[in-house]
Chains A and B, each alone.
Chain A
C-alpha cells in the first residue's frame, strides 16, 4: 500500500497531487494490478484533507481505467503504466546513477544537474529522438 503526501506550496490542486502519486507509483512498479489504494477515510484523516478530494482523485483514476471501486471494500488498481518496460528500469537506473556520479565529480550541483537533464530531455524531444 502506498502513502500519500501533499505539497501545500506547490500550487497544484490536492486531488491532482494524489492522482500524480498513484500514476508515479504505477510507473515505478510500486503499485500493481489488484493492489488496494488507501481507504478514503484513512487518506482524509492522515492528511487532514476533505474526503471529497480523495473521492475525486479516485473517480478520475477510475475514469482513466487505472482503478475500480468495489463498494464497501475499497478502490483497487486495475491498470498499469509500467508494462513490459519495468524490467528495463533496473539497468537504466544503474546507468543514471553512474551518470549522476560523473556529473557530481565534474562539479555540478543539484540545480545544474536538473537544468542539464531537463534541457537535454526537451531538446531530444524536439528532435524526435526520445
Chain B
C-alpha cells in the first residue's frame, strides 16, 4: 500500500527556532493516525507542512505521492481542518456549503446535505452564532464532503464538551468506514485516540520520538519492575524509554523485539497512555543512561 505521508529529514524553522527537526516518516494509507505530544512539540507545524500551508526549511515531504499544495489536483485530495475549526462568522451555514460546492471540484452535495440533516443545523444561521460542537461539525462536513483521500485534523475535539466530542468522533469514524479516507489527527486526549487510532506518532521537542502501528508498539513495549538495578546492565536488545527508581526498586518501560526472560523482572503490558507518557518524559531525561546516578 502507498504512503499517505512520506517525509525525509523534514525540518521547519521559524526565525531561529526549529519547530520540526529531522522528521522522517512513512505513514501507510488506510490508517487513522494519532499525532500526540506536548504543546509546542511541532504537531501543528507537521500538519501545516502536509497540507501545504507551510513550506519546509529542510528535507522533503510527499503527501499521497505529490508535493503538498502543488496545484488544484493535490489540494482536492487533501482535507485540512485547522485548530479551533475556523469558519466564516458572518456567513450562514448554507453559505458555507455553497462555498464548499464552488471551491471543490469533487464536492459531494448529497453527502453534505445528508450530514446537515443529521446534524439538525439551521441553514440560515450565521456560523458565528454556532456552538463549538456545531462549528466543528460544520467544518468537518466541509472537509469530508470534498471527498479527500486524506484528512488532516489539528486538535479537532480540543475545545468540545464530552458529548460533542463523542459525536464528532462517531461521525469521523463513520466517514472513515464509508469512504476509506485516511486520517491524521492531533489530540491530547489519549482515551479518544485509543478508540479511534491504529497508528501513532509521538512528537516531543520538534522530533519524532516514536511512530508505528499501535498494535506493534503495544506489543513491543513492556513495563518491568523489580529490585533496584542500573538500566545499563540490560541486554542489548532492550531499549529503556523511561526509568524510575526508589531505594529498593526499579521500574522501567523498555522497547524490545523479543520477550523479556530475566526472572528478576515482573513484566506487564503497556497501554497507549503509558507509552505516550514514557516517550514524553524521556525528553526530560536526556539521551544518556546516567540518570540512575543523577537520582542518588
**Which of A's residues lie within 8 Å of B, judged by CB?**
6, 8, 11, 14, 40-41, 44-53
Contact = CB atoms under 8 A, between A and B. Distances in A.
9 contacts: A8-B195, A11-B271, A44-B173, A48-B169, A49-B195, A49-B196, A50-B32, A50-B197, A52-B32
B194 A52 contact: no
A71 to B, nearest CB: 15
A3 to B, nearest CB: 14
Contact of A45 (B31, B177, B195, B198): B177
Contacts of B31: 52
B191 interface: yes
A44 B166 contact: no
B174 A45 contact: yes
Highest count of chain B CB atoms <10 Å: which of A6, A41, A50: A50
A4 to B, nearest CB: 12
Contact of B173 (A8, A11, A48): A48
A11 B269 CA distance: 10
A11 B273 CA distance: 11
A51 B191 CA distance: 17
Contacts of A52: 30-32, 198
A49 B173 contact: yes
B177 A40 contact: yes
Contact of A50 (B171, B191, B198, B271): B198
Contacts of A41: 174, 177-178
Interface in B158-193: 166, 169-174, 176-178, 191-192
